[in-house]
A and B are shown apart, each in its own frame.
Chain A
Amino acid sequence: MVSEKNIRVKIDELRSSIGLLKGVEFSIGKVVSEEWLEEIGPTQFPKITDLREWDFKLLQRYKPFYMPFCDLCCLCTFGKCDLTGDKRGACGINMSAQQSRIVLLACCIGAATHTSHARHLLEHLIEKYGRDHPINVGGLNVEVEAPITRLVCGVKPRTLGDLEEVLNYLEQEIVRLLAATHTGQEASNLDFESKVFHAGMIDHVALEVADIAQISALGFPKADPEAPLVDIGLGVVDSTKPVIMVVGHNVPSAAAIVDYLVENGLYGGVEVVGLCCTAHDTTRYNPKAKIVGPISWQLRFIRSGLADVIVVDEQCIRADTLIEAQKVKAPVITTSDVNCGGLPDRTKDKVEKIVEDLVLGGQPGAFILDPEKAAEVAVKTALLIAPKRMKFKAIPDVSDIVEGAKKCRKCDDCRRACPNDLPIRDALAKVLEGNLNALASLYEACIGCGRCESACPVDLPLHSYIVKAAEKRIKEEKYKIRVGRGAIQDVEIRNVGSPIVLGEIPGVVAFVGCANYPNGGTEVAEMAVEFAKRRYIVVASGCAAMSIAMYKDEEGRTPYEAFPGAFDAGGIVNVGSCVSNSHIAGAAIKIANIFAKRRLRANYEEIADYILNRVGAVGVAWGAMSQKAAAIASGFWRLGVPVIVGPHGLKYRRMLLGRKDNPEDWYVYDARTGEKVYVGPAPEHLFYAAETKEEAMVMIAKLCMRPNDTTKGRAIKLSNYIDLHKRFFGTIPDDIHLFVRTLADVPLTMREEVIKVLEEKGWKENVIPDPTLLPRLVKKKVGE
């Protein structure tokens, strides 16, 4: 048996009796016309060790610092094995390898989830729109439609069908990576880390496949900086109408609900509201849909009773959705084979029978794999059940809270279970004094996990108490978010490429990821606004993009109303859902390709080297929670983009930290001469957890510095770094001598104080090289 790759044939030019064939590729019975003339680079469809050398360069500089979550390994029957300190397990593994192995497992889960999502979505879209449906993510404005896929796979997808080959590759790699985590396989932590990077890269391709497929087929905004503004917040839901709530990440069933409502003249009579990334994508499909909020809002929204029917697809959905929905008598429809919810498979049943069972028969829900049927059932059920439910809710009255407070044993188990250590017991005690404010004040920092309730020995619904206490605030949650625009236009890249690479736009800051925030989502909005005001390019996706929206300035404007949606200095750009993160990585890649004319096709190392040394981009996942977030971050690491996480991000159990006090770590080749040149710790870290918002903001400004910055650009970046440091920490940074290469780098307005530091530190002038970590990119060797 031969694999698909083994029977692929490429012909540059063939003269035969039937004529001349040029640029033709055969693969498993299909013929892919090849018009992409760009030379194929060294790493087409890279295998897990093909980029190992590049990974090791990064890992040499950014060494892993492990913080084991547990001293044990319990993955096989040899165990449990105690790996404390320098002990080894029965299989011979040590703690470092075990920790990196767990990180790899997490990233494999993340990459597999996105790849599975992409596969499901692609199969659905091909079935509906055909294999030949063209890829179009921005019309004439986006020529490089799939920068990650082109970079990694060396192919240029033109149709939905072309993406299948890409997914085949991803699936093979994930299987291989997962195999490396088996007992008795990989032994080295650094090799595990290299595989983590590989999983991240694979994940990024999957993100791109999913998003360009849905943008192309479902008519999402195509790289539109002026994508419409839509409603977001618990307060925007019109409770006078039947409400269908969609939750998850994979949009076909939500899109089918919109279609069914439109086709049957019901749109406007039924509210479609969403949570998490399905909400993003539903508004990309139809901007009349509304977003309730990020993932943390699940429990509180279900208990509010506003949703008459809950339709879930996949990823980040609470495992107790069915239990919670039953409390408010709302049927649940599961629509994905990765999340059946224990419900009976009704895919082949008649719509009317399913609806009858849900509305009259007391069935708690149905598992329906056909999105169109699920949509019809959801709408018909919502229309019939809404008058019966009368928005039946599971949120208590104030009198219930008072009674609950009397029952409280003051054991503090609620606080000990709370991820944010919220003083729930103390707040509840104040209720007995007639004060609900203390309970209400917990709302902002509450991530809505409900662990306090599980821990309570007398079963008090503590999360609901908090929600009730904050009722007034919740009703006022009415904001605007710009619909996810998808890709960044090529012309935008051309416009900002030079100022980014030269450093005159001080950086691109991407706020991404989940909502496991240490102090609530407002911190994300505050960070985004601060950097937009400072003329950075701010990009956002997923739950973080929603949190940015849920904030108003003194004039009552949300950040998406106050700042433009263009990929330009001072813009706040919502690219869309989790899978739209691909456009953030894609923008960095396109700067190298479109602006700097670096070859893209299967040329990963060179592009990553370019980004690491020249593109001042930083990812901030302030509430990163999931394995998907881990995979997304690792894709950015391999590409040379540092990532900052909030304090909960430490639980990913490993950082990738540079040592600015080790000068030998910060040398690059000058591509013009081949000399090794000290460039300072720029960027200092690859994966870093900050304790506070302020610490993160100073670090963002610092991590945007790159060796290639011009003196003007470095001066701008330094002035932001110094200014934020002084504002938040009260002092001038003690490491600026490491970032000043020549006196021209010194910001004019800070000259005196900076020069003073330079003199104290014995600073010496350095050259500004044409930086690269790749000897093969040196144009002239030393001595030639």
Chain B
Amino acid sequence: MAAKAEPWQTAEVPGPKKAMVITNPRIVAALIRRSKNPVLIVGSMAPRIKLSGGDLVDYAIRIAEAAGMPIVSSPSVLGEFLNRGFRRVLSMPVVDIANRLTDADWKGVENKGQHDLAIFMGFKYHVCWLILSGLKHYSQNLKTVSLEMRYQPHALWSFPNISEEEWEKNLNEIIKEFKQDKMILNKVKEVKE
């Protein structure tokens, strides 16, 4: 993996606290496993980003289903999720979900309390950059992960700037990790039975 932890937009130089680079997609799976209440936040660009195995909405659904977490979608993408039969989705403008994620008393997407992990994908670069900056400074106890193809310095964890092929491979790796978890769980269950 050609790790190059520099912001994609050359001039968007952040500050001293920059995202740790996800060098192995298993890191993402581990973060989700450890999280008590994760949420996947999907932006308006998702249906327009086409990869060989589907668009980014497809990948968001696969990740959310594999990891068992809800999705908050930008309003203009809601229909894409519903049309594909994914129901564990809440439509909310990105500024609203970000604002709520900074409120320690918020009840969360499914009324389970404030989230401890927010994962982002499918946004315009600068939109994600600014939203993550807000969360970096103002959310308490929230870990943020960017699954975008470009390095997002304000997340806690981010992919570096990578190729589309590497990106897709990484997303598939994350999904595979959870599928393996399920296989192991099923085997344990079988052994117990």
Contact = CB atoms under 8 A, between A and B. Distances in A.
B10 interface: yes
Nearest to A687: B95
Interface stretch (B19-27, B131-139, B183-191): B131-139
A251 to B, nearest CB: 34
B56 to A, nearest CB: 14
24 contacts: A66-B134, A66-B138, A68-B133, A72-B15, A84-B17, A84-B136, A85-B17, A95-B137, A416-B8, A416-B9, A417-B11, A421-B9, A651-B130, A657-B95, A659-B100, A659-B103, A690-B93, A691-B93, A695-B44, A699-B93, A729-B78, A730-B78, A730-B83, A731-B82
Interface in B1-57: 8-11, 13-17, 43-44
Given A71-B137, A650-B131, A695-B93, 14 more contacts: A66-B137, A71-B14, A71-B17, A84-B16, A648-B126, A650-B127, A653-B130, A657-B96, A688-B95, A691-B76, A691-B127, A728-B75, A729-B79, A731-B78
Interface string A723-755: 000001111001000000000000000000000
B94 interface: yes
Contact of A85 (B94, B96, B131, B136): B136
Contact of B99 (A70, A657, A731): A657
Interface of A: 65-72, 82, 84-85, 95, 413, 416-417, 419, 421, 455, 518, 647-648, 650-651, 653, 655, 657, 659, 661, 688-692, 694-695, 698-699, 728-731, 734
Interface string B152-181: 000000000000000000000000000000
Contacts of B16: 71-72, 82, 84
A692 B44 contact: yes
Which secondary structure characterizes the binding site on chain A? Answer: mixed
Contacts of A689: 95
A659 B133 CA distance: 20
Contacts of A651: 126, 130
Contacts of B75: 694-695, 698, 728-729
Contacts of B127: 647, 650, 691
A61 B10 CA distance: 37
B74 A65 contact: no
A609 to B, nearest CB: 25
A65 B134 contact: yes
A699 B79 CA distance: 17
Please provide the 10 A-B residue pairs with the shortest distance between their CB atoms, ordered closest to farther: A71-B15, A730-B79, A67-B134, A67-B130, A691-B44, A650-B130, A65-B99, A694-B76, A692-B76, A416-B10
B15 A82 contact: yes
A413 B6 CA distance: 13
A84 B156 CA distance: 13
B79 A84 contact: no
Contacts of B133: 67-69
- Of the candidates B15, B43, B98, B136, the one having the most CB atoms from chain A within 10 angstroms of its own CB is B15
A646 to B, nearest CB: 10
Contacts of A730: 78-79, 82-83
B125 interface: yes
B102 interface: yes
A659 B99 contact: yes
B124 A421 contact: yes
A265 B115 CA distance: 73
Nearest to B17: A84
Nearest to B91: A729
Contacts of A647: 124, 126-127
A85 B137 CA distance: 4
A413 B8 CA distance: 9
B99 to A, nearest CB: 5
Contacts of A518: 124
Interface in B99-129: 99-100, 102-103, 106, 123-127
B134 to A, nearest CB: 4
Contacts of B74: 691-692, 695
B79 to A, nearest CB: 3
Contacts of B130: 67, 69, 650-651, 653
